[in-house]
Each structure stands twice: as C-alpha cells, then as structure tokens.
C-alpha cells in the first residue's frame, strides 16, 4: 500500500500533485501489510524527513477515541531510503495478527458474534534524535475480519449428489414450470401414443389448477 504524506498539511493525500485527503485505510485481520510511505513537500516533491541514522518512525493503530490504551497494531521498524534516492520512500510492515486486535473483533467468540470489521484510528509519527516529534493528522483504519484462517478443512460432499439441472423444475417469469413447456415442445402429435397424450394433458391441467387458472 502506497501512502503519501503532505508535509504542509500533515494529511495523507492521494499522490504527488493530488492533495485531496485520504481519510481512511483498509486492512485485513491476520495479515501483514507492506506500507510504502512518501513524504511530499508542497504535496508534490519527495523529501527525506531526517538523518536515517537517528530517525525514528512509528505507525500505530488504536481504538477510536481511546488515546489512553495500548496499540492494536504497531511498528517502529522501518527500512530507510538510500541517501542518494531522488524519490525516497520509507517502508514498514505492521502486523494485523495481534491478540489485541483479535479481542477487539471478538475472534473466537461463539457463532455469529464476531465483528465483520472494525473502525480504528491511526497515526504516523517521526522524530530525529531527541527532537520534537511530528505526526500526521489522525486517519481512520478499517480492519476487516478474515475468512480463510487455515483451520477450516475441506467441505464435505453432500449425499446424494445434487440432481442434474435437467431434472429440476424451474419457474419462468409467468410462474409456469419449465418442465411443462419442455414437455410440450418435444410432443409430436403424429407419433405420440395415447398414454403420452394423456400424461401431457394431465400435467398441463394440474399446473393450471395449481395456478388457479382453471
């Protein structure tokens, strides 16, 4: 995921030259995310934000309005850009496989009580050495619950096997069965036996009565 920080507004923006704010990010519970963060002067030009030898950057996620509690997801491990890089990008890989996040989503609760997703708050903060920190504006972080967890096994085949499509009586837009229409289409008056004619008439009458037509 590529993120762009406008160093003037300290907002996440869409990209160089596009300063519309990005107010939310979306992740999947249980996964590790790769973030590529670029810091832009005037919302256009890539900039370094300090000496990589003394620079500290943090990405943190907490429950909304709960500034006093610990992180649900966090990393302070970043890969710094090469000093000669003309478009420097800072990389990190925060994990969204944490016990705290599982608890917030209700993972492992009884059937039907886990949350499908949760909206949190996030921030990127950096400081050089003992200097004062600088932080982005707070943004929303939506974490979706995961479907594939690796413990489900393979679904069991149903018995008996599902019937073939041609054996199922489907309903048309007029609420008459396709079975009756297909029967009439294959009926040949020149070769039909008395039993076939009787069967077709009986099927047609039964269908019409069930629809209150007769």
pLDDT at position 181, please? Answer: 62
Q: What's the pLDDT band for 206 if we cut at 50, 70, 90?
A: confident
Place of tokens 């969204």: 96
Is residue 203 predicted with pLDDT exceeding 70?
A: yes
158 dihedral zone (left: phi>0; alpha: psi -120 to 50; beta): beta
Q: Please provide the size of the chain in residues.
A: 214
Return the pLDDT at 29: 95
Average pLDDT over residues 140-150: 92
- CA of 100: how far to CAs of 106, 121, 136, in Å? 10, 14, 23
Q: Higher-confidence residue: 200 or 94?
A: 94
Per domain, the residue ranges of the chain are 2-144, 165-210
Residue 157's pLDDT is 83
Q: Residue range 116-142: average pLDDT?
A: 96
Tens digits of per-residue pLDDT, 150-183?
Answer: 888 888 887 777 766 666 655 554 555 555 566 6
pLDDT band at 213 (very low <50, low <70, confident <90, very high): low
Integer Rg of the chain from CA: 31
Tell whether the model's pLDDT for residue 41 goes beyond 60: yes
Mean pLDDT, residues 38-61 taken together: 95
Provide DSSP, 48-112: --S-TTTEEEEEEEEETT-TTS--SEEE--EEPPPTT-SS--EEE--B---HHHHHHHTTTPSTT
Within 8 A by CB and 6+ apart from 15, the residues are 2, 4
Angle at which helix 178-185 crosses helix 194-210, to 10 degrees, equals 150
Phi, psi of 194 (to 5 degrees): -60, -40
Which 8-state DSSP code applies to residue 171? B
Least Cα distance to 101 among 84, 85, 120, 82 occurs for 120
Provide the percentage of residues in the chain whose pLDDT is more than 70.
85
Match domain 2-144 to its CATH number in 2.30.30, 1.10.3210, 2.50.20, 2.60.40: 2.60.40
Greater pLDDT, 151 or 8? 8
SS3 state of residue 182 = helix
Predicted pLDDT of residue 210: 72
For residue 171, the model assigns a pLDDT of 52
Q: Who has greater pLDDT, 130 or 70?
A: 70
54/51 Cα distance (integer angstroms)? 6
Average model confidence (pLDDT) across the chain: 87
Q: Report the alpha-carbon distance of residue 139 to residue 11 in Å, rounded.
A: 8
Work out the end-to-end distance of the chain between its first and last CA atoms, rounded to an integer number of angstroms.
65
Average the pLDDT over 79-105 and give the result: 94
Q: What is the CA 93 to chain-centroid distance, rounded?
A: 18
pTM above 0.75, yes or no: no
């Amino acid at each position: 995921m590529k993120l762009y920080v406008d160093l003037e507004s300290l907002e996440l923006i869409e990209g160089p030259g596009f300063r519309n704010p990005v107010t939310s990010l979306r992740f999947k519970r249980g996964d590790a995310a790769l973030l590529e963060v670029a810091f832009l002067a005037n919302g256009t030009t890539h900039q370094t934000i300090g000496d990589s030898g003394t620079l500290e950057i943090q990405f943190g996620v907490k429950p909304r309005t709960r500034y006093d509690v610990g992180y649900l997801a966090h990393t302070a491990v970043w890969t710094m850009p090469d000093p000669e890089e003309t478009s420097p990008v800072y990389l990190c890989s925060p994990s969204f496989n944490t016990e705290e996040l599982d608890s917030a989503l209700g993972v492992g609760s009884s059937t039907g009580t886990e949350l499908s997703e949760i909206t949190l708050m996030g921030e990127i903060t950096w400081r050089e050495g003992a200097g004062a920190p600088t932080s982005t504006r707070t943004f929303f972080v939506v974490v979706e619950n995961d479907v594939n967890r690796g413990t489900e096994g393979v679904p069991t085949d149903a018995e008996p096997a599902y019937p073939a499509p041609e054996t199922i009586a489907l309903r048309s837009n007029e609420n008459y069965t396709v079975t009756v229409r297909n029967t009439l289409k294959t009926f040949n008056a020149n070769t039909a036996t008395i039993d076939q004619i009787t069967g077709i008439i009986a099927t047609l009458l039964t269908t019409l009565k069930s629809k209150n037509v007769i």
